[in-house]
Amino acid sequence: MLPWQRAVWDSVGDLERLPHALLISGPPGIGKRQFAERLAIRLVCEHEAACGTCRACRLAAGGNHPDILAVRAAEGKTEITVDEARALNQFLVLTPHLAPRRVALIVDADRLNRSASNALLKTLEEPAAGSYLLLVSDAPARLLPTIRSRCRNLVLARPTEEEGLSYLKGHQIPDPGALLALTHGAPLRALAWPPDAPDVAARLVASLDAVASGGQSALEATEVWHGVDADIGLALLIEIAAGLARLTLTGTAGPVWRGEREARLRTLAARLDLEQIFRLWDEALEARDLMAAPLDRRLVWDRLFLHVEPRD
């Protein structure tokens, strides 16, 4: 179990009192899915404890328990479709194979499209005996209100900084403070990132500075950056834009930016005005959605770097 989830895990209490539908929400990268998976295992465990040793737990750990179904948007798709929701409905009304209960888990439940959400409503209104639905989302506001109102909410919190740092240190992360700050205190997100992400952020600042000072064109900088993992590259760029805005408006850039990184950011901030900074920020947020579509990443990066080119 993730150490910062112990208290909320204990708060779930008696399974007999657990509602049939639970919406597990909270910031990304803090272990919501892991929590839901563990709860699903507890619901099928022979000892109702996620003991890890009974047959049910061993099957579930391998992803092979016939009474647990995990649903998520298919690879390369952004939505969970009505067919997937119907399959889930059918799964939940069957008699359990092994366990006394059946559990369906929806990862990123905010991706349920409208027809899929509507298909789920009936299951939520009249749950079959012994059936449980666990919805996991970091954007619960995007769920249909009729779905939300039929679930009990369980909000998972970020770990404290101390818990996050100690977790990352346990995974031999060289600069856990910077990485944790970069991922907004989300340790699992931090672990999924390359451990040198803070250095990559510094190199991206250097590239932006080369463009902003006229030493390099947007096109030349694009050649360096278009091949980088789009999720991480854009998350870093968003963090840089936020740091630039904070630095310009308040004089301090925030916890990611310390020492050499902070000095580099300060140099770049001095070359840009607030309008450029906010445009870069906006465009980086938009680009995050664009990158999901199959288009030339060079174009996206080029447009981003163009925002910091010196103006005539």
Q: How far is the CB of 134 from Zn ion (least distance, A)?
A: 17
Q: How far apart are CA 300 and CA 263, in angstroms?
A: 27
If we measure between CA atoms, which residue out of 114, 113, 122, 120 comes closest to residue 134? Answer: 120
Q: How far apart are CA 239 and CA 198, in angstroms?
A: 11
Smallest gap, in angstroms, from Cβ of residue 255 to Zn ion? 41
The answer to whether residues 302 and 219 touch, using CB atoms and an 8 Å cutoff, is: yes
What's the closest the beta carbon of residue 284 comes to Zn ion, in angstroms? Answer: 45
- Least Cβ distance, residue 45 to Zn ion (angstroms): 3
Nearer to Zn ion among residue 53 and residue 213 (C-beta): 53
Q: Which is nearer to Zn ion, 57 or 106 (CB)?
A: 57
Choose between 96 and 254: whose C-beta lies nearer to Zn ion: 96
- For Zn ion, the closer CB: 45 or 136: 45
Shortest distance in whole angstroms from residue 51 CB to Zn ion = 4
Phi, psi of 100 (to 5 degrees): -80, -5
Task: Taking the CA atoms of 82, 85, 89 and 90 in sequence, report the sign of the dihedral they define.
Answer: positive
Nearer to Zn ion, 42 or 297 (CB): 42
Residue closer to Zn ion (CB basis): 51 or 82: 51
Question: What are the DSSP calls for 47-106, one per residue?
Answer: TSS--SSSHHHHHHHTT--TTEEEE-PPTT-SSB-HHHHHHHHHHHHSPPSSSS-EEEEE
Q: How far is the CB of 58 from Zn ion (least distance, A)?
A: 8
Give the residues lining the site for Zn ion (CB under 5 A): 45, 51, 54, 57
User: Could you tell me whether strands 152-155 and 21-25 are parallel, antiparallel, or unpaired per DSSP bridges?
Assistant: parallel
User: How crowded is the C-beta side of 118, counted as CA atoms within 13 Å?
Assistant: 3
